[in-house]
Structures are given as structure tokens and as C-alpha cells.
Chains A and B, each alone.
Chain A
Amino acid sequence: MLAALIILPLVGAAVTWLIPFDRLRPKVLSLFALAHLGITILLLTDTPPESPGGWIHLDALGKIVLLSTSVLFLFCAIYSIGYLFYRRERSNRVLCVGLLVCLSAASLVTITHHLGLMWVALETTTISMAPLIYFNRNARSIEATWKYLLICSVGVALALIGLYFLAYSTIVARVEPSLLLDDLMRDAGKLSSGWVHAAFVFLLVGFGSKMGLAPLHTWKPDAYGEAPGLVGAMLAGGLVNLAFLALLRVYQLCLATKEIAFFQNALVVMGLVSMIFAAIFMARQADFKRMLAYSSVEHVGIMAVALGLGGKAIFGALFHILANGLTKGVLFLSSGNIHRSYNSKRTDHVRGAMRRLPWSGGLFLAGFIAITGSPPFAPFISEFTIISSAFIQGRMLIGAIFLISLTVIFIGMALTVLPMVMGEVPSDSETTSYRDTIWTVGPPFLLLLLVFALGVWIPAPLMSLLKDAAALLEVPQ
């Protein structure tokens, strides 16, 4: 069953590669996405025990990320049926194949407990996304692809040397050499502390740059800005969470080795810096997809701060994996529609989207309200949990910077989003053949419904899953 999670998308990739018709491919993509979600739900309800040797083990943390990735992927796949209809001028073969390969590697990241294997899968997601950022085949997208590839590859390479250090610490300690999470946690007390310390620094920098934590975020605005909307959604709502899961694994190790205070402080600092960066660059952003990228920098910052705070905030961080991932789907997919309709992503060209595209414009506005943490949407719950936890722990300064950043970001984002969706369509605005259809509006609408539903009511199984996951990350007393 677990193997199907990995193999099925690969089979899908092979099938879509062989299909010669551009119109058929997105439909096949959606079928495989649906099957993947089906398997995911079966696995969540009836989890198989860990594999002999402990390499494959779907635990609560992996389940949350797997679920959010699979759901988001399904909606992106359905959206691609409508979206790619408007992009008939170029072949979508590479796009569909790349998405499925990425899904396969992403599933592997979530189900493995072997850090080396996790690294291999994570790097595969990075490489498989590179051709998708280049989908538009122009000078700007090549620039974005180059920056993405170079910074993420170097980042993930640094994470690999971190893993090597970790492996060497087991050899020096004369325990059984291994990169299995469970073995490392069992032997944590005996590991050579110098190597472990160096390993944590490299792992934080490496996975941090893949996740887009400031100051390692510089590839993000370019890549998110130039990639098609649905690729942006997968990057901001899917890949970010995978890198976060990698950091959670390191966090688990830190808990076991008692190096946690150092790691927590580093996370809080990097998280707050990310939020401040986002607040500065969000205001007066001339390109609405780049604005969404800074919003992503903000939200990885929020997750890092929450992880660094510990305690109740951990629950907020884990819930934010789902809340942020799904809301980013709403925003990127609806912004893709607006981009198609105006044939521009500059905020001075795009005005009055609500009049021209009542559905997409409305969804974009609702997505903005949700992502900035307004009730009754899901991100409100996670952000509120994190802030209240900061103040309960008596860490007033962190709480204050967090709140001020959120406020500044809300104002900055509103100054960009409100003129875009409100008002009149400029008379000289380009007219395109794009019209809202059920295929392009349905997926972001359903995602928004999910974000809303999670904001008012967390189902009992999900609640217990989140609690189980949070228990794995608790600081032992």
C-alpha cells in the first residue's frame, strides 16, 4: 500500500509521457491525483506498521504533510484541465510528467524515516520542479529557473554535508552507524556533540534555504512570480511543507540530543527575520505573484517561529501546514486566472478584477482575507494559537514583533489586493479569450470551502492526528 503511493504517480508520469494529445494529459493527471488521494486516505485510516529495518514508517507528522500535499495536488490537477486549455500554444507534456514525478518524490519524503533517503527524495522534488518554472519559455522564466536551481541545489547540498556529519558522529561514538531517525534518537545521548552541533547548523541552513526562510529566500519571488499559477501553488503549498517536515525531523533529533535550546533560538530568529523581510517587501509590490511569494516567506517564518517557541505553538505550526498549504492553493490558482484574463501580473494594469471576473476576483479577495489570519478561516486558528502561546510563555518581545509584522503585512497586502479587485476595469485593458469556467474556478472555490470549514470545525480524527503529531515534538520535562 505504501509502495503504491510512490509507484502510482511514477506510472502516471510514464503514461502521460506517452500520451500524444495535449488535451487528454491533464485529465489523466487528475485521475492519478484522485487515486493518490484515495490511497492516502486509506493509509491514514488504516496505517501499516513500520517496515522491517525501519526505513518506511508513516508517522503522525508525515501523515499531516502527506494529506495536505495530496489534497492540494488533486485540486491543482483538476485546475490544470481548465488552465491548460488556455495554454494550448505549447505542449504540456513536461509539465504533467514533472508534477507526477514530484508527487512521487514528495510522498517518499513523508513516509520515510531514513534521513538519507529523505534527502534523496527532497532533492528530486527540487530538480523535477525546475522545468516547470521554465514553462513560459522566456528570458524572465529562465532567470527565475537559474536562481531557483542554483540556490536550492546549493542549499540541499549543504544539508547533505550536515547528514554526513551526523553519520560520522555515530561512527565516532562507536554506535551502530546509521542515518535512521529512530536509531539516531535512541543513541542520541552517546553521539559526539561537536559533530552533531555542526550537523544541525548545516541542516538548518540547507533545509531553510529550500523552505525559503530569510535571508535564504531570494529565489522565491522570482520562481513564484514566473511559474504558472498551479506550479506556484505546488511550490508554496507543497514543497515548502516538505522542507518543513525535514526540519521537523531535525527538531526531533535535537529534542533527543538535548541541543534543542540552540536550535529553537535559531528558528525563532530566522522566522522573525523572514516575517520582517516579508513585511518590508510586501508593501507597494508591483507584481501580484511576487507579492504572494513574500506572503509565502512570511508564512514559513510563522511556522519557524512557532516551532522555535515550542509548547502550545507546536500545535499551531502543525495546523498551519494544512491551513497555509490550502490557502496558498486558493491564492495562486485564482491569481493564475486573473493573470490569464489581463495577460499581465502588474498591479497597475490589473484593476477591477471583481467586475471582470467576479468569481476569480472574489476568490482572490477571500484568499487574501484568509491568509492574513482573519476569522473564520483556518490560518486564524493557527496564528492565534501561536501568538497566545508566545504571550503565555511570557516571551513578550517575540509576540510583539510577530503581531506587528502581521499587522504591517495585512496593511501592505491590502494596499495591493484591494485596488486590484475593486474599482473599474481600465478602458485600455487588454482583452483576452479567458473566461471563468467551472474547471478554473471550481478547484480554488472548493479549496476555500475547505479552508473555511477547517476554520470553524476541526474533525475529531484530524484533531487526534494533530495531537499525536504535536506529542512527537514535545520537549521532555
Chain B
Amino acid sequence: MISIADQLLVLVLLINFISLGTSRLIFSIRAVAVQGVILGILPGLIHPFSWHLVGITVGIITAKGFAIPMLLNRAVRTAEIKREVEPFLGYVPTLLLGAVFTALSFGFAGKLPLLPEHQNYIFVPASIATLMTGFLILTTRRKAISQVIGYLVLENGIFIFGLLLAEAMPIMVEAGALLDLLVGTFVMGIVMNLISREFSSLDTSRLTSLKEE
């Protein structure tokens, strides 16, 4: 089971690079949806069966795999944009930065003390690398949709780390945290639709009326 989990995490890391490297928004949304589904499967692989687990798996897969991607797809369609043009930082530099961050997170995780039973997993580096990827997308892209995708990836990174903490986090808190993050994403999706209606564009660099004079 461990090896399957690790291979899935490698897939998660690959998807990070896809979302960093592509300019096609629909493709990027689909990649993050796949990442969400993988995250939904992961808890089932490393924890013993329980109804709470089933709930989390179903919840994550519906929200991250279907509901949120649908919301984003609709925004892309109504705003009639296909590509992220002119990001603040080009695709090749962000990909390189992504690679550097991934390497650094493996180094960082190697330095920190891990439980012996976690030592063979790549949970910690995968989590930190995904977190950094999300942060990178958030800061380098102009379109509101890309920024929401960045937030989703960041959230996925946090979720991966959360998998190590099944005993420490009571169900209520874990569920509450997940719910808050998902509601946050939904509210962002709604605000994004409002932006596209108001500005007839999803380009956040047009949001400049509130600059310091």
C-alpha cells in the first residue's frame, strides 16, 4: 500500500509541474481536478477503514474533483478566455523555480526529524513542494482563475500534510478545516464571477483603481 501511495504522490508532484507550465486554463483546471481526486484516494490507502474515512473520501472527491472544477470551467466559459497570457513571470522561469522549490522541500524534509514509520514516505516533501507550487502560481499569474487554481494547489499541499496527523487532529476539527477551505474556494469562485461581470475580464491586473496615489 505504501508504494502505491508514494507513486500517487509522485503523480501529484508531476501535476504541480503541469499547472506551472501550461497556459491553457481548461487544461490547468482539469489537472488540478485530477490532483483533487488523487488526494481523495490517498487517505483510504494509508488508514484503516472507517465511515469517517469514507465521508472524507467522498467529500474530497466531489468537491475537489467535480464541484470546484465545474465552477471554474463556467467562469472560463462566461469570460471567454482560454489562456493565461503574459503572466508576471514567464513559464520557463516559474517551472525552473518550481523545480528548485521541489528540490529544496526534499532537503528541508530531510533535515527535520520524522517518525520512523513515515521515513520511507515522501509525504512531507510532497506536501511542502505542493504548497510552494501553489504559492508560486498565486504570485506569478494575472488571471483570477489562475489565482484560485494556485490557492487550490496550496490547499492540496496542506491536505497532504494533514494525512500524517490522523491521530492528532480530532474529526471535528479536521472536517471544520476542510470545510472552511472549501467554502473559501467557493466564495472566491463567486467573487471571480462578479469580477468577470464587472470588468468583462478576469485579469486581476485590471484591478488597479485602489492604488496608492
Contacts and interface: CB of A to CB of B under 8 A. Distances in A.
Nearest to A152: B184
A140 B112 contact: no
B154 interface: yes
A167 interface: yes
B72 interface: no
A143 B188 contact: no
B98 to A, nearest CB: 18
B144 interface: yes
A296 B131 CA distance: 30
Contacts of A178: 168
Interface residues of B, number: 46
B207 interface: yes
Interface stretch (A75-83, A112-120, A355-363, A398-406): A112-120
A147 B82 CA distance: 23
B101 to A, nearest CB: 15
Given A114-B173, A154-B154, A164-B158, A221 B210 contact: yes
Interface stretch (B3-11, B25-33, B45-53, B192-200): B192-200
A31 B196 CA distance: 39
B191 A149 contact: yes
A170 interface: yes
A123 B158 CA distance: 15
Interface in B169-204: 169-170, 172-174, 176-177, 180-181, 183-184, 187-188, 191-192, 194-195, 198-199, 204
B209 A161 contact: no
A198 interface: yes
Interface in A278-312: 281, 286
A311 to B, nearest CB: 33
A146 B144 contact: yes
A150 B114 contact: no
A160 B207 contact: no
B194 A142 contact: yes
Nearest to B148: A150
Contacts of B111: 194
Interface residues of B, dominant DSSP: helix
Interface stretch (B16-24, B61-69, B159-167): B159-167
Given A117-B176, A140-B210, A150 B155 contact: no
A150 B170 CA distance: 27
A183 B173 CA distance: 16
Given A150-B188, A157-B158, A221-B210, A120 B177 contact: yes
Given A123-B180, A164-B161, A144 B204 contact: no
Given A142-B198, A161-B161, A172 B113 contact: yes
Contacts of A153: 151, 184, 188
B176 A161 contact: no
B115 interface: yes
Given A116-B169, A127-B183, A143-B207, A154 B151 contact: yes
Interface residues of A, number: 48
Interface residues of A, dominant DSSP: helix
A154 B184 CA distance: 10
Contact of B177 (A119, A150, A177): A119
Nearest to B204: A146
A145 interface: yes
Contacts of A172: 113-115
B113 A194 contact: yes
Contact of B210 (A114, A143, A179): A143
Interface in B63-113: 111-113
B112 A198 contact: yes
A168 B168 contact: yes
B191 A146 contact: yes
B138 interface: yes
A195 interface: yes
Contacts of B209: 139-140, 143
Contacts of A145: 191
B191 A130 contact: yes
A146 to B, nearest CB: 6
A225 interface: yes
B99 to A, nearest CB: 21
12 contacts: A120-B177, A126-B184, A138-B198, A140-B209, A140-B210, A150-B147, A150-B188, A160-B158, A161-B158, A164-B164, A177-B168, A178-B168
Interface of A: 114, 116-117, 119-120, 123-124, 126-127, 130-131, 134, 138-140, 142-147, 149-150, 153-154, 157, 160-161, 164-165, 167-168, 170-172, 177-179, 192, 194-195, 198, 221-222, 225-226, 281, 286
The 10 closest A-B pairs by CB, nearest first: A177-B168, A116-B173, A120-B176, A167-B168, A143-B207, A123-B180, A222-B210, A177-B167, A194-B112, A153-B184
Interface of B: 111-115, 131, 135, 138, 144, 147, 151, 154-155, 157-158, 161-162, 164-165, 167-170, 172-174, 176-177, 180-181, 183-184, 187-188, 191-192, 194-195, 198-199, 204, 207, 209-210, 212-213
Given A123-B177, A142-B194, A198-B112, 19 more contacts: A127-B184, A130-B187, A130-B191, A134-B191, A134-B194, A140-B210, A142-B191, A147-B207, A149-B187, A149-B188, A150-B147, A150-B151, A153-B151, A161-B161, A168-B165, A168-B168, A171-B164, A177-B168, A179-B168
